[in-house]
Amino acid sequence: MAKIHKTGVLLAGLLTAGMSSAALAGGPVDEKLVIDEELEIITRTAAPEGHPLDEVISGWHYRTKETRELEADSFQNPGMLYVERGEEIWNTVEGDAGKSCASCHGDGEEFLKGIGANYPKWNADANKPFNLELQVNQCREANMQAEPYKFDAADQKALVTYIKHQSIGMPVEIDLTQGEMQEWWKKGEETYYTRTGQLNLACATCHEDYNGNYIRADHLSQGNVNGFPTYRLKQSAMVSLHNRFRGCIRDTRAEFPAAFSDELMALEVYVTWRGTGLSVETPAVRQ
């Protein structure tokens, strides 16, 4: 496998040098993402220590010009509709306690700045890492006395999109020193490199060994998650990270774990770490 990996890199390198268009090889384009001509997004950065690759690259670089342009214009980006819906939810009272998110946390734009860039994080009470969805549900049950959201409920996706969007442009950085985060990271790494399904593919097969190459007519990215929830053209809607995890595993023709299961939470910790230093792009636009 190591051998194939090197050949792939070499081939991509030759094509880049020879044709000055990495896009033709399925690799990342040499462009900069600046949203509304003012917000510079870090879409390429040096990988954190211990990362198998030298550079981490946002999936934005692997998309066509039209898709990249959608993300660069916050008005044209359809994901912004869900940000607006999320803001409404933030300010809407729900549950027996008669509270909204804003009742305790105040103005979302102020309170939430930077928070989404640091999730998932260790939750000592639950003794496991929490992502934003789990954090929101805990808050709804404990503080609002409202029903927790079912996985991928429209309001869950919109609220999480809104929360994460408040950190747009800020670099992803999760704290692995808290609680048992190291163990969860390790478990996620195992999952990442374990081949699964009838197609016998690990996450690493496509997103580490073959990123920059084609899978059928599609470009394989590094599979970074800094843009989730992401607006996917295929669904014409927001797609949550655990929905994408499950879709990817399903496509290897394997049984896929439940959303927010320990296995997928560990994978979220590990994959989020792999994109350390990339800006939050939520809502990113992908194919």
Partner 1 sequence: MSLTRREALGLTAGAAAFITFGGQLAYAAAAETEEAIKAFSGGSMPASGKISLDAPEIAENGNTVPVSVSVDSPMTADNYVESVLILAEGNPSPAVATFHFTAMSGEAAAKTRIRLAKTQNVIAVAKMSDGTTFMDKKEVKVTIGGCGG
Partner 2 sequence: MAAPKPRVKVPKKASKGEVVTLKTLISHPMESGQRKDKQGNPIPRKIINKFTCEYNGQVVFSCDMDPAVSANPYLEFTAKVEDSGTFKFTWVDDDGSVYTTEKKLAVE
Give yes or no for residue 215 binding partner 1 (CB under 8 A): yes
Give yes or no for residue 234 binding partner 2 (CB under 8 A): no
Residue 42: CB partners within 8 Å, gap ≥ 6?
A: 169, 171, 277, 278, 279
Shortest separation between residue 109's beta carbon and partner 2, angstroms: 18
Shortest separation between residue 249's beta carbon and partner 2, angstroms: 21
Q: Which of 124, 125, 198, 216 touches partner 1 by CB under 8 A?
A: 216
Residue 119 near which of partner 1, partner 2, none (CB within 5-8 Å, type-dependent): none
Give yes or no for residue 262 binding partner 1 (CB under 8 A): no
Q: What angle do CA 66, 54, 11 make, to 5 degrees?
A: 65
Amino acid at 157: K
Element housing 243 (H / E): helix 241-251
**DSSP SS3 for 117:** helix
DSSP state string for 148-216: PPPTT-HHHHHHHHHHHHTTBTSBP---TTSTTHHHHHHHHHHHHH--BTTTTB-HHIIIIISTTSEET
Give yes or no for residue 154 binding partner 2 (CB under 8 A): yes
Residue 63 near which of partner 2, partner 1, none (CB within 5-8 Å, type-dependent): partner 1
Q: Which of 31, 84, 175, 183 touches partner 2 by CB under 8 A?
A: 84
Residue 124 near which of partner 1, partner 2, none (CB within 5-8 Å, type-dependent): none
- Per the annotation, the verdict on 248 as an active-site residue is yes
Give yes or no for residue 85 binding partner 2 (CB under 8 A): yes
Interaction with partner 1 in 230-249: which residues (CB under 8 A)? 233-236, 247-248
Task: Please state, in angstroms and rounded to a whole number, the distance separating the CA atoms of residues 71 and 287.
Answer: 11
Residue 241 · residue 228 · CB < 8 Å:
yes
Q: Which of 30, 31, 69, 88 touches partner 2 by CB under 8 A?
A: 88
Shortest separation between residue 206's beta carbon and partner 1, angstroms: 8
Give yes or no for residue 80 binding partner 2 (CB under 8 A): yes
Task: Look at residues 276, 207, 245, 216 and name the one whose alpha carbon lies nearest to residue 28.
Answer: 207
Task: Please state, in angstroms and rounded to a whole number, the distance separating the CA atoms of residues 30 and 45.
Answer: 13
Interface ranges with partner 2 (CB under 8 A):
75-76, 78, 80-82, 84-85, 88, 154, 236-237
Residues with catalytic roles: 248
